[in-house]
């Protein structure tokens, strides 16, 4: 009986710790939940903009990762979310780029290609996208080319080939980024998109994403 009580106590403690950890973060993607009949990660939708999508969920070391490959194509996987940035202001994700679209530069329509984009939708007209660009300088915060009546703010998180082939963990305070860009309190984050494209430069690109998580301060 004593052993049983100790075991139960240990289980209760472990469960409490697990719940606390879950309450401390919102996991948007870990890509370990498998894929559906079409090979799309569970809970996500495929959006093909130009050409046929080439993607897979792979094991890269200890990481379950989404691999994106573009050959003169543009596509994304996306999902609806509901995130209150007042509770979970910080977003972290892991990404790795192994091939950049040659000549890519978001600042010109004819070269607006990136190996990796993480796109956040707040409303039908306001979004922020975080990119790994080929040419535009790292740290640049600007406005992206957008459809009519829509504003897309952009952050160049990484640029160029210096860190190709390396897994990098990024951390952004989305709450502060939104306030800096739009000058107001952010609404709920309503959608996320992970994207690759190389159709403008007619080249190719490859990238990986893993462990996309919203966190408290």
Domain boundaries, the chain: 27-215
Angle at 210 between CA 206 and CA 215, to 5 degrees: 140
Structure tokens given for 82: 């509901």
pLDDT band at 22 (very low <50, low <70, confident <90, very high): low
pLDDT of residue 44: 97
What 3-state class would DSSP assign to 79?
A: strand
Angle at 33 between CA 36 and CA 169, to 5 degrees: 120
C-alpha pair distances (Å), 139 with each of 83, 159, 202: 25, 9, 26
pLDDT band at 3 (very low <50, low <70, confident <90, very high): very low
Q: Which CATH superfamily does the domain covering 27-215 fall into?
A: Galactose-binding domain-like (2.60.120.260)
pLDDT of residue 21: 44
pTM flag (> 0.85): yes
What's the pLDDT tens digit per position in 170-204?
999 999 999 999 999 999 999 999 999 999 999 99
Helix or strand (DSSP H, E) at 10: helix 2-23
Position with higher pLDDT, 4 vs 174: 174
What's the pLDDT tens digit per position in 117-160?
999 999 999 999 999 999 999 999 999 988 888 999 999 999 99
């Amino acid at each position: 009986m004593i052993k049983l009580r100790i075991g139960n106590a240990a289980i209760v403690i472990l469960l409490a710790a697990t719940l606390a950890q879950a309450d401390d973060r919102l996991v948007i993607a870990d890509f370990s939940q498998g894929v559906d009949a079409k090979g799309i990660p569970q809970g996500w939708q495929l959006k093909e903009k130009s050409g046929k999508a080439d993607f897979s969920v792979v094991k890269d070391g200890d990481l379950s990762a989404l691999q994106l490959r573009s050959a003169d194509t543009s596509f994304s996987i996306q999902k609806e979310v509901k995130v209150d940035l007042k509770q979970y202001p910080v977003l972290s994700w892991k990404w790795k780029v192994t091939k950049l679209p040659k000549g890519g530069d978001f600042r010109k329509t004819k070269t607006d290609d990136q190996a990796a984009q993480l796109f956040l939708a707040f409303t039908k007209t306001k979004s922020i996208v975080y990119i790994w660009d080929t040419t535009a300088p790292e740290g640049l915060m600007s406005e992206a080319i957008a459809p009519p009546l829509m504003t897309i703010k952009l952050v160049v998180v990484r640029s160029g080939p210096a860190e190709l082939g390396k897994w990098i963990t990024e951390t952004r305070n989305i709450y502060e980024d939104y306030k800096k860009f739009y000058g107001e309190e952010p609404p709920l984050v309503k959608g996320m998109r992970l994207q690759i494209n190389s159709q403008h430069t007619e080249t190719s690109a490859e990238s990986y994403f893993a462990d996309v998580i919203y966190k408290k301060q």
